Amino acid sequence: MELHRHLFISLACVLLGFGILMVHSASITSWPTEFERVYLSRHLIFVALGLSAAFIASKMPARFWYHAAPHLFALTLVLLIIVLIPGIGTEVKGARRWLRFGGYSLQPSELAKITLVLFLCRMVVDRQDVLHRWFSGTIPLLIPIAVVFPLVLRQPDLGTSLFLAVGCGLVLFFGGWPIRNFVVAGVLAVPAAVGMLALKPYQLERITGFLATWTDVGTAPYQLKQSLVSMGVGGISGNGLGMGWQKLSFLPEANTDFVFAVVGEELGLIGTVSLVLIWSGLFVSGLMMLSRLPRDSFAKIAACTLLTQLTLQAALNVAVVTAMVPPKGISHPLISYGGSSLVISLVTLGIVLSLANDSDSRLAGD
């Protein structure tokens, strides 16, 4: 286990260091000023905050997360409500998702990626014996989900809502929810998903624009076209670190959502494949580290869910940048310039390390 733990931490540090390098490179503009150093210095501040929080989280006993889950979830609900209040929540491009404190901001929906998972894991462990039943086992689990989703959709943030839904599905999967229930839930979810798209025309335009990328690239969304151009000109070995030109005001969100495209342009296929392999190594070493935990324990369910969720976010970002899925503003964990996202990603890794040390067979209530 210690070998896997050390490998897990080492790969996480490699990703974090690589992210610092790429944030600085992707922040370079066509008119070099102190702009790049400002982004790098702020990013380093978030790295320091995230590492400090992750270290504290990793030292907490696994039982702490079981008992703290309801309180952390309640705090997240309060923040999700507050952020929607005009004058308190900050609105950017029609979306009110941030709480600003001085020069820094907090995105409560990012916090929900952890707290909702922990709370549902506690509920699943407490209902293991009746989890296969709909009314006594499954329906109670829908209550926290039904409370969080409308608040996140109201911001609006459909992408994060869907991502939270994936996290909830992972909790149920690792918790042993019957496969037949997944099939039934999937069939019932299709009309709801179609309805949400129909109510938001701009989201439907994203779908049609994405489809146009593979049929008529001339009518594809601008950011996708520029992303594919960036990936294409990089070739096998890339143009060299810091030598990319698409980031010079051509590629939108070059140091955040589309930083993977900058990796492709400057480091080529070798760089992008290497990044994917490092993420794969982190995921596999994490699962190996958690393999000794009892399958039905709170620690195993929560840690596997958080680790898988973080890895899926990285995979989804790669899929968006390479036009494999419709465009959605989602950062690349540990690689993109970040505030809330970077700190939450590091805390997630800290919690996984904490849960990996669990010595309790189930971590049910006292």
Residue 114 is predicted with a pLDDT of: 95
Rounded Cα gap, residues 236 and 154, in angstroms = 43
Contacts of 44 (CB under 8 A, 6+ apart): 20
Q: Which two tokens stand for residue 293?
A: 């935990």
Q: Fill in the amino acid letter for 231.
A: M
* Packing angle of the helix pair 62-82, 108-126 (nearest 10 deg): 130
Contacts of 288 (CB under 8 A, 6+ apart): 4
Contacts of 293 (CB under 8 A, 6+ apart): 299, 300, 303, 355, 356, 358
Q: Which residues of 340-361 are buried (b: 16+ CB within 10 A; e: fewer)?
A: bbbbbbbbbbbbbbbbbbbeee
> CB neighbours (10 Å) of residue 41?
11
127 to each of 130, 137, 146, 183, 299, how far by Cα in Å? 5, 6, 19, 21, 15
312 to each of 117, 276, 307, 330, how far by Cα in Å? 15, 11, 9, 11
Residue 365 is predicted with a pLDDT of: 42
Contact, 83 vs 155, CB < 8 A? yes
Chain segment 266-323, per-residue pLDDT in tens: 999 999 999 999 999 999 999 999 999 998 899 999 999 999 999 999 999 999 898 8
In a domain, residue 153? The reply is yes
**Number of structural domains the chain divides into:** 1
264 or 106, greater pLDDT = 264
Contact, 335 vs 15, CB < 8 A? yes
In a domain, residue 348? The reply is yes
In a domain, residue 109? The reply is yes
In a domain, residue 312? The reply is yes
Mean pLDDT score of the chain: 85
Residue 32 is predicted with a pLDDT of: 54
In a domain, residue 363? The reply is no
In a domain, residue 366? The reply is no
The helix/strand/coil state of 105 is strand
In the chain, % of residues over pLDDT 70: 86
Region 29-33: mean pLDDT is: 55
- Of the candidates 3, 67, 5, the one whose C-alpha atom is nearest the C-alpha of residue 352 is 5
* Packing angle of the helix pair 158-174, 298-321 (nearest 10 deg): 140
Q: Fill in the amino acid letter for 318.
A: V
The torsion region of residue 241 among left (phi > 0), alpha (psi -120 to 50) and beta comes to beta
pLDDT(142) > 90: no
In a domain, residue 365? The reply is no
- Local confidence band at 361 (pLDDT 50, 70, 90 cut-offs): very low
pLDDT(144) > 70: yes
Domain containing residue 54: 2-356
pLDDT(199) > 60: no
In a domain, residue 242? The reply is yes
